[in-house]
Amino acid sequence: MVQPREQILQAFGGQVNMRIAFQFSRDEIKQFLGNVRANPVAFGAAGTDIPAIQALCQDIARLWAFDGTHYSDPSLRPEQHILRVLHPEWPREYISKFRLGRHLFKDVNFWSLPDLLGLVLNLLGPAPAGATRRNFFLPLIAMFGKWCQKLCVEYPPVVLQCTWTTGGNGEYFLGASMSGYNVDKVETGSWLAVLNRARFSVISTERFRLSGWSQAWSPSIRRRRRDGRPFGRCAETYPLRFLLRDTADKSAIHGLGLSARVLWSTHAYDDRLAGPIWEGTWNPCSNCMALIENMEGLVANFNRYNGRRGAPA
């Protein structure tokens, strides 16, 4: 008997078959983003978002491998997919070689190629009517992860995540774990600390600081001490900031994470529950659970076992 395949919905204004887009080459992704930049509305964008989308496409093209002019700027070595400027006092002890560049969206800074790419795909929404984990969000996360792996050769993301609302407007938000950087200690000084601090600032609020957590004191650090991770490095960082934090109906906010590791060896989208993509789905870590609770979301809505029933075995 032939296995039934998932009926995956078309993305981005009905223009994109994600089974095909999952297999795009680096050049095909660049071509797609060029088409989006030329005509965002044809890919589902709102007219009011056209300037934001075009600015995003421009910065993504500066940062992608291998011909992004900013990525490979000889005055900003080592090569990386991060918007950055040279620190005027470099080289000097205890400082970072770079200061973070800026790409502001709704007053929040974005600087890394995977996050900029996620943001542009968010703006090519909304999700089509009837979108579920099985027929839209998991294929979208997987396609996003593949694209990150093609465009981003310096420290590509380890985890991808999508957060979405079932509250009616079809909004969703893709995020990647902290990635795209090269923080060689000798070559870049304290650059890693700059990036960690910036990621933390995306989710830090008065309410969060009053909860007793801080950048240096997270559930992961409490448990694993020196091996623990600070807040902000996870793929959930931007999605929770944009979709959960200020939403009135928090119970309508759901999410799913995916380990990027399983994507490296997967060349066609595999919709089987026993396949590597469903197997690679990911629950929120202890830091993200604390963050979701602090933002008054429902941790249970982010469980990797939700919404699997009926998927091809």
* 162 belongs to the binding site for Zn ion (CB under 5 A): no
Identify which of residues 44 and 257 has a Cβ nearer to Zn ion in the complex: 257
CB of 286 to Zn ion, least distance (A): 8
CA distances for 145 relative to 154, 243, 277, 296, angstroms: 14, 20, 11, 28
CB of 199 to Zn ion, least distance (A): 11
140 in contact with Zn ion (CB under 5 A): no
Q: How far is the CB of 247 from Zn ion (least distance, A)?
A: 19
Task: Tell me the window of 42-50, 190-198, 283-291, 292-300 that interacts with Zn ion (CB under 5 A).
Answer: 283-291
Stretch that binds Zn ion, among 39-47, 128-136, 226-234, 269-277 (CB under 5 A): 226-234
Binding positions for Zn ion, 89-128, rule CB under 5 A: none
With respect to Zn ion, which residue has the nearer C-beta, 185 or 225?
Answer: 225
Residue whose C-alpha is closest to residue 163's, from 147, 148, 146, 175: 175
DSSP line for 291-311: HHHHTT--GGGG-TTTT-TTS
Cite the beta strand spans of 8-56 per DSSP E.
Answer: none
160 binds Zn ion (CB under 5 A): no
Q: Is 289 exposed, middle or buried (0-12, 13-18, 19+ CB in 10 A)?
A: middle
**Contact call for residue 288 and Zn ion (CB under 5 A):** yes
**3-class DSSP state of 132:** coil
310: left (phi over 0), alpha (psi -120 to 50) or beta: left
CA distances in angstroms from 135 to 100, 163, 293, listed in the order given: 37, 15, 28
CA distance 57 to 119: 10
Q: Judged by CB under 5 A, which stretch of 3-11, 113-121, 142-150, 279-287 contacts Zn ion?
A: 279-287
- Part in contact with Zn ion (CB under 5 A); list of ranges 99-107, 180-188, 199-207, 287-295: 287-295
Binding span for Zn ion by CB under 5 A among 178-186, 201-209, 278-286, 296-304: 278-286
Query: Interface with Zn ion includes 159 (CB under 5 A)?
Result: no
Shortest separation between residue 259's beta carbon and Zn ion, angstroms? 12
Rg, Å, the chain Cα set: 19
User: Considering CB under 5 A, how many residues would be counted as binding Zn ion?
Assistant: 4
**What stretch of H or E contains 105?**
strand 104-105
Among 285, 290, 292, 311, binds Zn ion (CB under 5 A): 285
Binding residue for Zn ion, selected from 234, 244, 258, 311, defined by CB under 5 A = 234
Coil, helix or strand at residue 313: coil
Q: Which is nearer to Zn ion, 180 or 257 (CB)?
A: 257
CA 303, chain centre distance (Å): 18
Task: Kindly list the residues in this chain that would bind Zn ion in the complex (CB under 5 A).
Answer: 234, 285, 287-288
